[in-house]
């Protein structure tokens, strides 16, 4: 069944349509692959029985002539999406045993188009992290290893489970969430396509909140076409999310071309970082050449407030997190640590100190600090002002260009234990955070390998609601780069 797991979504759709395989067979092949790749720890909740049930229901629908956009396609769902009747903990101890009685809008949209949930994917606790080393369910491994020393490298985070699962052929696509880069960075580290749409394209209803003004659902896939298909399935207005957009959603998958003739592509000078590995600079240049050869015009641009993006993000995101995570107190759901005779305050304290991991506690403390009476103006308010300036930089840039191309990350995937200190870890997000702060769509497309055999991606940022423009640049790069996975056959 090896070959079934290695199909693209469009190939799988064709096979299903021609009755050359059933959704149940496709699902079984992926479940077998998951069993064989348990070492990656990509899934935090396995749902094989449910997957088989969903696949059988899909086969039945198909036999009755009902065929959704993703009919019968096995998709992984990040554990941050509430899934009805299936444990959803955002990989935190504090949500132990939480089984939502409702379905998130994004996963409901996915299933309404016929997709089969193959399992819940592992992630950094509450989506805080860049290496998937902050999960209560244990770390995820990148299916790639460094060639020079064979070191096991991280998959990136926080959607590391989704990224690893897609690259290891454990599912055909996966849902992720991107607050400051959690789809784009792991996609780059694992060698697949990761898309974060415009803020507001996807409903946040039923997504376990991290930082609400930044959180946005996103997708992983092994090709630009496949990613467009999944994104098309999950986007849509939702009255249950007041920030959900009412803008019309073009059928992304039908509009993906590699036509960038006459398009102006911006190259921001601030993204040339000191100490960035030469290979990354080289691939960036190569990407620019490919776009030029495809008829695009390259324009040097400046995004002058870029250097403030990371500090601003690490004030705003923790501030919102400290407020969002205040609801976990042992009262309503999840973990409750309340030894006999303890007071209410004791219960709060014990539950929160045992329920949250170190990184989450760090963010809650930073967030509470920057929101506190004496520091609000100096930190939070100032950060909000600079956020506006960052958004304005992009607005100006999009007066001159149609899309922006940058590296996705300043380094390839690193080995476990190599970036222990939180600040070094935060630097991973230096290229992804600005678009998040501005609410813009961004995606990563794999274009090559480091000298050490690790995948590298380029990031494309486009104007608000111009996902189609972004996909077209991505497809041009994909066609030129001819990136070939080196994982073929390992897991299946
Ligand atoms: N790595 C970033 C962080 O730790 C981004 C996380 C995310 O996008 N969810 O906050």
SS3 assignment for 431-472: CCHHHHHCCCCEEEEEEEECCCCCEEEEEEEECCCCHHHHHH
User: Tens digits of per-residue pLDDT, 1-42?
Assistant: 458 999 999 999 999 999 999 999 999 999 999 999 999 999
Report the atom number in ligand 1 closest to the C-alpha of 210.
Answer: 9
Mean pLDDT within 292-308: 98
Nearest-angstrom CA–CA distance, 233 and 212: 22
User: Tens digits of per-residue pLDDT, 183-242?
Assistant: 999 999 999 999 999 999 999 999 999 999 999 999 999 999 999 999 999 999 999 999
Q: How many Cα atoms occupy the beta-carbon half-sphere of 413 within 13 Å?
A: 38
Please check the confidence at residue 62 and state whether its pLDDT lies above 90: yes
139 lies in some domain = yes
The residue from 22, 107, 158, 245 that is catalytic is: 158
432 lies in some domain = no
Mean pLDDT of the chain: 96
State in Å: Cα 64 to ligand 1 middle. Answer: 43
Mean pLDDT within 65-81: 98
Report the atom number in ligand 1 closest to the C-alpha of 179.
Answer: 8
Nearest-angstrom CA–CA distance, 477 and 235: 24
Nearest-angstrom CA–CA distance, 262 and 295: 6
State in Å: Cα 363 to ligand 1 middle. Answer: 11
Domain with residue 100: its CATH number is 3.90.1300.10
Mean pLDDT within 289-317: 98
**Helix, strand, or coil here: 207?**
strand
297 lies in some domain = no
pTM, whole model, 2 decimals?
A: 0.97
108 lies in some domain = yes
Single out the residue of 16, 19, 46, 11 nearest to residue 30, CA to CA: 46
Distances (CA, A) of 72 to 27, 49, 53, 137, 339: 8, 15, 11, 28, 47
Distances (CA, A) of 334 to 82, 91, 325, 419: 13, 12, 13, 31
Q: Are 205 and 240 in contact (CB under 8 A)?
A: yes
State in Å: Cα 490 to ligand 1 middle. Answer: 29
Mean pLDDT within 48-75: 98
245 lies in some domain = yes
* Res 440: pLDDT: 98
Mean pLDDT within 314-334: 96
β-pairing verdict for 173-178 and 74-78: parallel
| Band of residue 492 on the pLDDT scale cut at 50, 70, 90 | very low
Give residue 92's domain range: 2-258+450-455+463-481
User: Tens digits of per-residue pLDDT, 241-295?
Assistant: 999 999 999 999 999 999 999 999 999 999 998 888 999 999 999 999 999 999 9
340 lies in some domain = no
Report the atom number in ligand 1 closest to the C-alpha of 127.
Answer: 9
* Res 421: pLDDT: 85
Q: Are 133 and 418 in contact (CB under 8 A)?
A: no
Distances (CA, A) of 464 to 240, 302, 436: 22, 18, 11
Q: How many domains does the chain have?
A: 1
């Amino acid at each position: 069944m090896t070959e079934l797991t290695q199909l693209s979504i469009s190939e799988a759709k064709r096979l299903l349509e021609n009755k050359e395989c059933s959704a149940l067979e496709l699902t079984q092949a992926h479940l077998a692959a998951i069993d064989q790749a348990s070492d990656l720890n990509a899934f935090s909740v396995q749902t094989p029985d449910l997957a088989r049930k969903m696949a059988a229901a899909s086969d039945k629908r198909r036999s009755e002539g009902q065929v959704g956009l993703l009919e019968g396609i096995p998709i992984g769902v990040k554990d941050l999406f509430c899934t009805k009747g299936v444990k959803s903990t955002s990989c935190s101890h504090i949500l132990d045993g939480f089984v939502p009685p409702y379905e998130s809008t994004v996963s409901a949209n996915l299933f309404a188009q016929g997709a089969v949930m193959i399992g819940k994917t592992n992630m950094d606790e509450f989506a805080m992290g860049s290496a998937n080393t902050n999960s209560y369910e244990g770390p995820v491994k990148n299916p790639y290893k460094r060639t020079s020393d064979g070191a096991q490298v991280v998959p990136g985070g926080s959607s590391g489970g989704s990224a690893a699962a897609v690259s290891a052929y454990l599912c055909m696509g996966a849902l992720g969430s991107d607050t400051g880069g959690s789809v784009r960075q792991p996609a780059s580290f694992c060698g697949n396509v990761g898309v974060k749409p415009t803020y507001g394209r996807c409903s946040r209803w039923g997504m376990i909140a991290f930082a609400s003004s930044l959180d946005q659902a996103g997708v992983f896939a092994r090709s630009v076409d496949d990613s467009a298909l999944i994104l098309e399935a999950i986007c849509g207005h939702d009255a249950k999310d007041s920030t959900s957009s009412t803008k019309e959603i073009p059928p992304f998958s039908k509009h993906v071309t590699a036509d960038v003739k006459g398009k102006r592509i911006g190259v921001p000078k601030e993204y040339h970082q000191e100490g960035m590995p030469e290979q990354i600079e080289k691939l960036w240049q190569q990407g620019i050449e490919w776009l030029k050869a495809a008829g695009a015009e390259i324009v040097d641009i400046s995004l002058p407030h870029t250097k403030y993006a990371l500090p601003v993000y690490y004030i705003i995101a923790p501030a919102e997190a400290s407020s969002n995570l205040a609801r976990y107190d042992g009262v309503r759901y999840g973990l409750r640590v309340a030894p006999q005779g303890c007071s209410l305050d004791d219960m709060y304290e014990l539950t929160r100190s045992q329920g949250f991991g170190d990184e989450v506690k760090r963010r809650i403390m930073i967030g509470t600090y920057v929101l506190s009476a004496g520091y609000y103006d100096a930190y939070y308010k100032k950060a909000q002002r600079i956020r506006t300036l960052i958004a304005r930089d992009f607005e100006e840039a999009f007066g001159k260009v149609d899309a922006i191309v940058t590296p996705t990350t300043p380094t390839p995937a690193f080995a476990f234990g190599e970036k222990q200190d939180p600040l070094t870890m935060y630097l991973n997000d230096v290229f992804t955070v600005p678009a998040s702060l501005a609410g813009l769509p961004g995606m990563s497309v794999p274009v090559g390998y480091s000298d050490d055999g690790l995948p590298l991606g380029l990031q494309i940022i486009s104007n608000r609601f111009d996902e189609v423009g972004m996909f077209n640049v991505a497809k041009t790069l994909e066609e030129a780069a001819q990136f070939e996975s080196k994982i073929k056959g390992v897991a299946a």
